[in-house]
Amino acid sequence: MGCMFSHLAAKFAFFPPSPPTYHLTKNPDGKLSAVSASSSSTFPAAGDSSIDVRVVKTRRGNKVAAFYLRNPNARLTLLYSHGNAADLGQLVDLFVQLKVNLRVNLMGYDYSGYGASTGKPSEYDTYADIEAVYECLQTEYGVGQEDLILYGQSVGSGPTLHLASKLPRLRGVVLHSGILSGLRVLCHVKFKFCCDIYPNVKKIKKVKCPVLVIHGTEDDVVNWLHGNRLWKMAKEPYEPLWIKGGGHCNLEIYPDYIRHLYRFIQDMENTTTKSRLKKIWQEIRRRDESKGCCSFKLCRPKCPSCPKPSCDCGECGCCKCECLSLKGCFSCCKKPSCVGCCCPKFKCCNCFGKPTYPKCSCWKCLKCSESECCRSCCCAGCFSWLCCCGGGKRKELKTRGGETTVAKREG
C-alpha cells in the first residue's frame, strides 16, 4: 500500500524534460561526453579537463549521469540536487558560474529517469541516487563530508536533507526554495500522511551543520512559509536570504543570491571543528539562559546572605553569587531541582535547600552574621567545600549533654 501511494505521489512530483536536453557519447579515449540536443555542442570540449562526465550505479540498480566541475582554487565541494523540471543539460551554464564565482568544485547529477539517467523517478530512487553520487565523490575524488556542502533546490531539498541527516560532520547545507514535504506544497496540513513524500519537516531536525535557506517572497509554487519554517527548525540556522519579489525559478538572477551564497561559502571555509563546537555551546547556553535554568535542568542553591546576587531567574530561584567571600560556592549547578539531594551519599539536603543531615552546619553558617564563619559540612566529601568566610577558620557542632553548642577552631 505504501509503495502504491509513493508511486502515485511521484507522478505529481517529478516532471523530467521530455525529450532530455542532452545525451551521452563515448570518446575514442574511453571518456564520456555530453552532447546538447538543441545546439549539438559537446561538453567538455576537446582537451578540457575541468569537467568530468560520469555514470554512477545506484543500489537500486539504476545508472545516474553526473557532471563534476573542477576549480583549482577550491577548498570545498558543492553537491547540487536540482529541481523537478530540469536536467543537467539545462544547468551546465549555471554550474560553471557557481564554480567560478563561489570558488568551489561542483558535482551535479540527474535523478533516475531524468536526462541520461536510467530508471523512473521516485522518492526512494532519489535517495539512492544522491547516496551513490556521494560515494563517488569519496572514492574517485577524495571528498570527505567535512569538505562537502549539500545544495538542494525545490524537490532537490528532499534527497539533500536525507543525506545531510546521515552525515554528522557535514560542512553545510543550502536549501534553495525548499519544501516542508510534498503534500504540504499542495495544501497546508500539519499531519503526516502515508501518501506524503520528502518529510523534510522531520529530517531537518537531524541535520547537525549550518543550514542556509534561500527563498523568494513571491514564490507561487512553494510558498515562502516553507523556507521560513525550515529555517526556524534547523539546529544551526545560518542567516537566511529572503529575496523580495523572487519567484520559484528565477532567484539566480538577483545579485543578492550569489553575494549571500559566496559569504556562506567563505564562512564555511573559515569554520573549524573547534569553532563550530564553541558556537554550538554558546547557542545552547544562550537558549538555556533565556529559559531561566541551566541546560541540565538543575537549580543553584539560593544564597541567603550574599549582598551581590547577579541574577534571579524567578522561576526556580537560581542565583549566581558574586560575593568575594563566597567565590566559587554557587557558580555552577550542583543541586537538582526537587529530584533528590546534591550529595545522595549523605542525604544532607532536601529539594528546598534546607539541611536534613543532623551534623550539617553549612546552611546555618551561611546565615550567621559573624565574620568568622565556617562552611565545613557533610558535603565536603563530594564537593570539597572549604571555609570561605572566616579566612580559614571554621565552626563545628558539638553535642554536650544533649545540648548543641558551637565551637571555634583555627582551620
Residue 288: active-site member? no
CB 222 within 8 A of CB 177: yes
Q: Return the H-helix or E-strand segment holding 383.
A: helix 380-383
How far is 290 from 346, CA to CA, in rounded Å?
34
Interacting residues of 333 by C-beta distance below 8 A, sequence separation 6+: 294, 296, 298, 299, 300, 318
List Cα–Cα distances, 53 to 26, 126, 135, in angstroms.
Answer: 10, 19, 16
How far is 231 from 228, CA to CA, in rounded Å?
5
* Size of the chain, expressed as the number of residues it contains: 411
Choosing from 6, 117, 154, 177, which is the catalytic residue?
Answer: 154
Interacting residues of 275 by C-beta distance below 8 A, sequence separation 6+: none
Choosing from 82, 117, 219, 226, which is the catalytic residue?
Answer: 219
How far is 306 from 304, CA to CA, in rounded Å?
6
How far is 320 from 340, CA to CA, in rounded Å?
21
Choosing from 157, 248, 361, 376, which is the catalytic residue?
Answer: 248
How far is 95 from 101, CA to CA, in rounded Å?
10
User: What sign does the dihedral 69-74-79-82 (CA atoms) show?
Assistant: negative
Query: Own/partner pairs for 230-235, CB < 8 Å, 24+ apart?
Result: 230/157, 230/175, 230/178, 230/180, 230/200, 230/201, 230/204, 233/201, 233/204, 233/205, 234/204, 234/207, 235/205, 235/207, 235/208, 235/211
List Cα–Cα distances, 228 to 51, 211, 215, 240, 286, in angstroms.
Answer: 35, 12, 8, 9, 22
Residue 29: active-site member? no
Residue 154: active-site member? yes
Which are the catalytic amino acids? 154, 219, 248
